[in-house]
Amino acid sequence: MPDPHSPDPEPRPASPSSPSLFSRLKALLRPSPPADREGIRAVLEAAHDHSILDGESYAMISGALEVADKTVLDIMVSRSRMDMLDVSQPLAELMPFITETGHSRFPVYEGDRDNIIGVLLAKDLLLTLSDQALDIRALIRPPVFIPESKRLNELLHEFRMSRNHLAIVIDEHGGIGGLVTMEDVLEQIVGDIEDEFDDADEKTIFRTGDNSWRAMGTTEIEDFNEAFHVDLPDEDYDTLNGWLAAELGHIPRRGERFEGQGLAFTVVGADGKRARWLHVQRLTEPSSAADAPNA
């Protein structure tokens, strides 16, 4: 039995705990902190090399640094690729276009495409679907105009403060240069933001007629080849969008058409970075019913 009157034993030294991420980064900054962004990048690379930062964290922090160096001009969707609505068109005529493009926000112009008078949110149409005669002028919101020279970190701050998600870009001559969204800016930091249309596990090919289909640009080439019994090359590209961009020599634009392997591909929805939706039509009759996709 231990003697209750014996002196207290010497306290055990505290077991060393694993250093925090901050402590490990701080150690890398010694003996002198970085003097500029290049120095910060060097520290980040060292942290990544020493497995202090994993690949995803390293890419995200690096992206946040790069946002401060980029301007709207670097990432905007150019004017020629903007999907816009004519305020003079009846809603019944605009709905097919709105559905095909799949955007959540649309610049609205009057008379001339350079005369943008507002922005229409697709969600605002949900309460008006029963009134096809509605003038969309009653639904549009004031547009936000920004210069193409604005830095992305400043724009992100403005988006957050104003709760806007889309801005119209004005070029140096005062004309419409393009548009930019909050998603475009965030993707510079975190990488591509996938939505429900980008889910690789979801169905991406849909039958629209006896001899026509609608396919997402993100459709895997392997899946497309299997569905249509064709042989699109998949050595250098994973998706229809990548293959089509290589065939056209540029990012696919809405309305462009390409024929190959007995199929006609028409871009029915696109943004500044990729084709989102393609209309696919077979130019020749399949040799058997098995050659037609079941989508």
Name the strand (E) or helix (H) holding 110: strand 105-110
User: Is the Cα torsion angle 274, 277, 281, 282 positive or negative in sign?
Assistant: positive
Strand partners, 260: 263
Residue pLDDT, tens place only, 79-128: 878 889 999 998 888 888 887 777 889 999 999 989 999 999 988 887 67
Using an 8 Å Cβ cutoff, are 82 and 102 in contact? no
Query: Which residue's entry shows tokens 């969707």?
Result: 77
Query: Which residue's entry shows tokens 């276009």?
Result: 97
DSSP secondary structure letters along 147-168: ETT-BHHHHHHHHHHHT--EEE
The pLDDT of residue 285: 60
Residue pLDDT, tens place only, 178-206: 999 998 888 877 766 555 444 445 678 88
The pLDDT of residue 187: 80
Name the strand (E) or helix (H) holding 24: helix 21-29
Residue pLDDT, tens place only, 207-253: 877 788 888 888 999 999 999 999 998 787 888 988 998 888 888 88
Strand-by-strand arrangement of the 176-181 sheet:
77-78, 176-181, 166-170, 145-147
Tokens of 230: 């064709």
- Structural domains of the chain, ranges and CATH numbers in brackets: 34-69 (no CATH), 74-188 (3.10.580.10), 197-291 (3.30.465.10)
The pLDDT of residue 55: 65
Looking at the chain, how many residues does it have?
295
Q: Which of 11-15, 23-27, 225-229 has the largest mean confidence?
A: 225-229
Using an 8 Å Cβ cutoff, are 71 and 148 in contact? yes
